[in-house]
Amino acid sequence: MTDNMTGPDATRPGDVLRARNGKTMEVVNTDAEGRLILADALSLAAEDEPDAIIDLATLTGACIVALGDRTAGLMGNNVALRERILDAAEDADELIWPLPLPKSLRKTIDSDIADLRNLGTTAYGGALTAGLFLQEFVGDIPWAHLDIAGPAFASSEEDEIAKGGTGFGVRTLARLLASWTKLPAE
């Protein structure tokens, strides 16, 4: 967890940080701090060379703009993993929509002073550029990211969802993991 702390040691625009995997990241926007921490977490997870990495985060307001407050966005580098997550989400009755990681947007996170910027140069596709940023820290390991910014918190009760934190994604992950041993070896 991170927060935007004020003070002399706070991260500032223009700072360059080095992630665990060695990539450097230019801080363009201090409100996009969660992805900086997630970069290190993904790098650490990738070091163990797992079969797959799945992360969930309230990453972007852009995902809420695109999908509303009841649907999470799914991005990743492995079609089979994304399909399994979508199947598990359907079984768990959680709304997840697949989003692309378009190569054409990758250049918007290039930096003149580091390997990457923590925010794209365009006002469009913010959820997608955040996903492209995260992808830089998993290598070739099958990876999926769920942007749960919308459904992570409910402003009112609706159906089975109580007001407040929803635990969105837990049911999907439980379904996915329950069937994980049934998958054929790759």
- Model pTM? 0.91
CB 94 within 8 A of CB 86: no
Q: For residue range 147-166, list pLDDT tens digits in order.
A: 999 999 998 888 888 899 99
- Sort residue 157 into left (φ over 0), alpha (ψ -120 to 50) or beta: beta
Tell me the domains of the chain and their CATH numbers.
21-180 (3.40.630.10)
Ranges of the chain with pLDDT below 70? 1-5, 181-186
Is residue 99 within 8 Å of residue 73, measured between CB atoms? yes
- For residue 10, the model assigns a pLDDT of 80
Report how far residue 44's alpha carbon sits from residue 34's, in angstroms, rounded to the nearest whole number: 16
